[in-house]
Amino acid sequence: MSARIQNMGRFLNKNAPVTFTFNGQSLGGYRGDTLASALLANDRMLLGRSFKYHRPRGLVASGAEEPNALVNMGQGAGFEPNQRSTTTELFDGLTATSQNHWPSLNFDVGVVNNYAARFLPAGFYYKTFMFPRVAWKHLFEPVVRHSAGLGKPPKERDADRYEHFYFFTDVLVVGGGIAGLQAALAAASSGAKVLLIEQTAHWGGRAPVDGAEIGGKPAEDWVAETLVTLQGMENVTIRNRTMGAGVYDHGYALGYERITDHAPDTDAPRHRLWRIRAKQIITATGAIERSLSFAGNDIPGVMLASAVRDYLVNWGVAVGQRTVVVTNNDDAYRTAIALKQAGLEVPAIIDARPLVDGNLPNQARALGIEVREGRAIAKVKGGKRVTGVDICLQDGDGGAREEIKCDCVAMSGGWSPVVHLWSHCGGKLNWVEDQAHFAPDPNRPPTGADGQGFVLTAGIASGAMDTPEVLKDAHAAGKSAAKAAGYTPKRAGPPKARPTDEALMAPVWIMPAKATPDLKAKMWLDFQNDVKVSDVQLAAREGYESVEHTKRYTTLGMATDQGKLSNINGLAVLSDALGQPIPQTGTTTFRPPYTPISMGAIAGEARGDIFQPLRRTPMHDWHVEQGAYMEPVGQWRRPYCYPRGGETHAQAVAREVNNTRNNIGLLDASTLGKIIVKGPDAGRFLDMLYTNMMSSLKPGRCRYGLMCNENGFLMDDGVVARIDGDTFLCHTTSGGAEHIHAWMEEWLQTEWWDWKVYVANVTEQFAQVAVVGPNARKLLEKLGGMDVSKEALTFMGWADGTIGGFDARVCRISFSGELSYEIAVPASQGRAFWDALHAAGAEFGAMAYGTEALHIMRAEKGFIMIGDETDGTVIPQDLGLHWAISKKKEDFLGKRAQQRSHMTDPNRWKLVGLETLDGSVLPDGAYALAEGENANGQRNMQGRVTSTYHSPTLERGIALGLVLHGPDRMGEVIEFGLIDGTTVPAKIVDPVFYDKEGEKQNV
Amino acid sequence: MLILTCPYCGVSAEETELHAGGEAHLTRHATGASDDDLQSYLFYRKNPKGVHFERWRHSNGCGKWFHAARCTMTLEVFGTYSAQTTQPPADLIKKIKQKRPDWEGWT
């Protein structure tokens, strides 16, 4: 059993007991515990079920590398799945539940997968795709879907607050172990600005646990003193609970600070994302111990030797009462010694090396611990908890076993430097034969804007394994970073430390070396994704030679721990199966973040109302006051319709259309893009941008124009007004002002930079109102101030003047087919003008209308809408807009592309009107069916619906669409497919449904 | 996240201030262009592992387009310069050739 030990636990505050709940049961711990240590102290070994086989799983590690002990944290709006219990600090009232099991942790139905393991081999998912389709649909998909995914997504909106924080520094040091502290000290003593971050709540890393001595003192004392020194330096910023999540181009790095995870009642943001720019980055990220691959290495109670030691020293927890240590290196002896000294039993140390005679092994022997040289674990016994191990010769096949009873196995396969941050931005690695690990190659660092390296490593992260080396390496890194950042480091050297003289480790990738297949099928490499030695070997036999392919095929290292424990072991097994050295196999790519970070931290403050800027027209508040139903149009909000009383949206829209067609409608058109194009070459410039001729436009007149991109596709449309000889006002679509303005700037700056033209986006400088309907002129004449008569202001003309005392620019243009004036006034006058129009217009039936009425009226007239009739693949010729394409101009943007063979193909679908025979409304995007099927067995198509509405004017469904040879097929009836598999017949008609002669606007 | 110095306003701008505009120094093939030239202009782009000339716009800053010479592999920036030119400045080409003797040149 696992239990608390009195008088141990350097992180615990025994005066601060804490109560928490796991799977509904109330348990006790102390402040300073992690959820993992507190669960162990309560003899909770079984913490979850594995992903694929639902095998019982317990803790393996004590830190960020933990693959198994993921839990659901919190409830309701604070619920979060997949939280790592080893990095979750305990607080009073913490609520956690285990995950990935059904119906309960102790009794799980999915464990049948375990017995069917030979039917779930490497590449299982891919292999299921090769069965007949029916098997996938009815057999595999339901099973895979049920068992896929770890944890459950939260159902409620996240109640917590998050923020981003920008930080610029000379040197960033990631990792607060002795290497990070020494590197920070060496860099900071030069005067450089230093940021030091540590992912846990504690400083000093492993050195205090391992009993290191620095400067003649215990490491713990040296850490405390150094921390005080650093805190006293004005040029140093220090943050614990802040993980270095990623290193990116040109010295950019992300820090992930967990501010209140351990104290949720604090009034502060939960997480803070540090967006750091550093001239130099030092990664003092330490190393992670590797597991050993022996049969049953996933049974709860089998743990990393370093973790067993951590739980004992840091949290005063004995993982077991009888612990067998199994190792291929000297470091694991520290665990055996610590356990023995704490009064716990260590029946044997199983060492795979044939001869063991170092300082640490001899210390262990002196304590009376039996060291079994050249031995291996053949098999771990037990189900939900270790009960014993069978040992055998390492250099054998697992035969001739001998049993040792125990309730804990502490394993160590050696240490791998944490090279993630070094590698994120392109730092390269060397294989170090002595230690059987990959370490950063200082000659191939990630490079910055100046072509020089900007990342250094310090301590064990560099591959320095012994304390004096660690400090020396870290000191040198700190000095180098300061120098590269432009400072002069002090001459002082690193502190002295006691060497430990560890003997060499011996690589052990499979235990025992010649294990039989039944043993290999129980040797776990990736605990979280349930990948075994046999899976990787099978992948190699099936031809997966690239480590990246094997990773994806077997899912090795693809779980939320990203293979922190499994990757080196996995690629060693792969290399062995392929008969090639490990460096030739290489590693998979290290990608940020180092451990998962919350979505909330990534979003920061950008959520809810401040997710993006909200643009409001001067009349916005009026719309809201009237109860308008608003819809987003780019960053604008526009009224879709203004429901009155108990009106539905459809009823409101119909009323607005009918009133506009019969009386007068007022539209807030302020969002329409307005761009001034000015200069001696303005006409020449617009002739290049628009498909039609703009330079011939007379001052005082308006012209509708089309803009295409260089591929010939229609991108925007709008009315251009010529203000004077040098000045044009270009109207763009509501969502298009910014990108059309940028489009103009791009051509002026990068292609025709010698043309004398300026452009200015004045969209927000003006409020614009469309006054539309048979009574429009009466209203303007009542307000008075300028002549808006048929004779004075003809169709497609504009004039400046005053209306009701407001300075106004009046364009007589129409997007509805009615008599219509679009009137721009200074934005500051917009609301007053709008109110004046309503007040004066009451007697003529003036009523606001929204965007849906606008759309319906334009569709009734067959006017196209960018984004409905166009989708980036439509050219003006498809829409019957030949009249707006100049034949005289030698060149305009898109002209040459429109001459390409596919663009002139007579079989391109063309714009027509569509009327269902039964008057119903066609579904948006519905396709017109043609005879036969294509090569994929899908029905052939001959057209599609681009806009579709119920027309209140015509009291029937109308639609615009693109149809094969459409304009030549007037009157023909074609069938449109519905989602339910039926079809609806519709007649091809002229796209202008209403007032074909244009009599209504011509009054 | 690159940092590039805008040659117009002199600001060392974070990539979030900038808008990438693809390969620099394209020739616009339009009126009377052959299908091959048009295809090359519209669709074919260099994708070198090494020295590359790119268009950038200081979109959340002064709004100006400029050119940058950059190594796509090491992220070294050799320089930024005006967009109002049809070829990289001679001194920049010389600088790159000194740093990268094997470089085949910009065309």
DSSP codes, A57-114: E----SSTT--S-EEEES-GGG-EEEEEGGG-B--TT-EEEE-S-SB-SSSBGGGHHH
Q: What is the reported pTM? A: 0.92
pLDDT of amino acid A48: 84
User: Measured between alpha carbons, how far apart are the two ends of chain A, in Å?
Assistant: 95
Nearest CA in chain B to A249: B1
Chain A partners within 8 Å of B14 (Cβ): 277
A417-431, A497-511, B85-99: lowest mean pLDDT where?
A: A497-511
Residue A103, preceding bond cis, omega within 30 degrees?
yes
Say which CATH number the domain at A144 has.
Answer: 3.10.20.440
Taking CB atoms and an 8 Å limit, are A896 and B31 in contact across chains? yes
Give the strand pairing for B65-71 and B51-57.
antiparallel
Q: Does A896 lie at the interface with B, CB-CB under 8 angstroms? A: yes
| pLDDT of A118 | 61
Give chain B positions within 8 Å (CB) of A278.
Answer: none
Q: Give the CATH number of the domain where residue A920 resides.
A: 2.40.30.110
CA distances from A860 to A188, A652, A927, A949, A991 (A): 73, 18, 21, 9, 8
Give yes or no for residue A148 having a pLDDT over 60: no
DSSP letters spanning A135-172 = HIIIIIHHHHHHH-SSS----SPP---EEEEEEEEEEE
A149 and A225 share a domain?
no
Question: How many folded domains does chain A comprise?
Answer: 5
In the listed set A131, A157, A183, which residue is the last one of a domain according to the structure? Answer: A157
Between chains, do B2 and A895 touch, taking CB under 8 Å as contact?
Answer: no
**A151 falls in which pLDDT band (50, 70, 90)?**
confident
A836 lies in a domain?
no
Is A329 part of a structural domain of the chain? yes
Residue numbers in B near A896 (CB within 8 A): 29-33, 38
| H or E stretch covering A656 | helix A649-662
CATH code of the domain made up of B3-99: 3.30.2270.10
Residues A449, B77: C-beta atoms closer than 8 Å: yes
Cα A583 to Cα A329, A436, A437, A562, A979: the distances in Å are 21, 10, 10, 20, 55
Is the CB of residue B76 less than 8 Å away from at least one CB of chain A?
yes
In order, the DSSP letters of B73-90 are TT--EEEEEESS-SS--H
Residues of A in contact with B29 (CB under 8 A): 896
pLDDT tier, A339 (very low <50, low <70, confident <90, very high otherwise): very high
- On whether any CB of chain A is under 8 Å from the CB of B98, the answer is no
Q: Are A435 and A463 in contact (CB under 8 A)?
A: yes
Indicate the DSSP class of residue A353.
S
Last residue of a domain, one of A484, A500, A528: A484
Q: Which of B70, B41, B65, B44 is nearest to B55 (CA)?
A: B65
Q: What is the mean pLDDT of residues B24-46?
A: 96
| Chain centroid, CA A206 distance in Å | 33
pLDDT of residue A905 exceeding 80: yes
Q: Are residues A153 and A28 in the same domain?
A: yes
Distance from CA of B72 to the nearest CA of A (A): 11
pLDDT band at A106 (very low <50, low <70, confident <90, very high): confident
| Residue A623 covered by a domain | no
Lookup result for tokens 């007239």: A861
Q: Does the pLDDT of residue A559 top 90, yes or no?
A: no
Q: Are residues A152 and A14 in the same domain?
A: yes
Question: CATH no. for residue A556?
Answer: 1.10.10.1100
Residues A117 and A199 in one domain: no
| Residue A296 and residue A281 share a domain | no
CA A355 to chain centre: 50
Q: Tell me, yes or no, whether A403 and A438 share the same domain.
A: no
DSSP assignment string, A895-908: TTGGGSTTTT-TTS
Is residue A27 located within the same domain as residue A54? yes
* pLDDT confidence of residue A926: 97
Which phi and psi angles does A628 have, rounded to 5°? -60, 145
- Inter-chain CB proximity B42 and A897 less than 8 Å: yes
Domain ranges of chain B: 3-99
My answer on whether A529 and A463 are in the same domain is no
Assess if residue A849 is contained within a domain. no
Which domain range does residue A141 map to?
A: 1-157
Q: Which of B32, B33, B76 sits opposite A447 (nearest CB)?
A: B76
Mean of pLDDT values over A78-99: 93
pLDDT class of A297 with cuts at 50, 70, 90: very high
A444 touches B at CB < 8 Å: no
**Residue B58 in this model has a pLDDT that exceeds 60:** yes
CA distance B41 to chain A (A): 10
Q: Does one domain contain both A299 and A234?
A: no
Chain A residues within an 8 Å CB radius of B77: 449-450
Q: Which residue of A has its CA nearest to B59?
A: A742
Tens of pLDDT, residue by residue over A39-80, are 999 999 988 888 778 888 999 999 999 998 999 999 888 889
The verdict on residue A658 lying in a domain is no
- Domain assignment present for residue A603? The answer is no
- Same domain as A244, residue A179: yes
| Amino acid found at A908 | R
Residue A807 lies in a domain: no
**ipTM (interface predicted TM):** 0.98
Same domain for A119 and A5 = yes
Which of A374, A390, A413 is a domain's end point? Answer: A413
| DSSP structure class, residue A630 | E
Tokens of A602: 């990534």
* Same-domain status, A433 and A574: no
User: Given B32, B33, B83, which is nearest A750 (Cβ)?
Assistant: B83
Share of chain A above pLDDT 70, in %: 95
Task: Mean pLDDT check: name the lowest of A131-135, A356-360, A916-920.
Answer: A131-135
Written as one letter, the residue type at A796 is: M
- DSSP assignment of B29-90, as one string? --TT--HHHHHHHHH-----SSEEEEEEE-TTTT--EEEEEEETTT--EEEEEESS-SS--H
CB of B8 within 8 Å of any CB in chain A?
A: no
Contact B38/A900, CB-based, under 8 Å? yes
Q: How far from A469 is each of A205, A500, A796, CA to CA, in Å?
A: 16, 11, 83
Q: What number is the average pLDDT over the span B11-24?
A: 96
As a whole number of angstroms, the distance between CA B85 and CA B89 comes to 8
HSE (CB half, 13 Å, CA atoms) of A240? 15
Interface with B, mutate which of A756, A892, A896, A903 (most B CBs under 10 A): A896
How many contacts (CB atoms, under 8 Å) link A and B? 70
- Inter-chain residue contact B42 with A742, CB threshold 8 Å: no
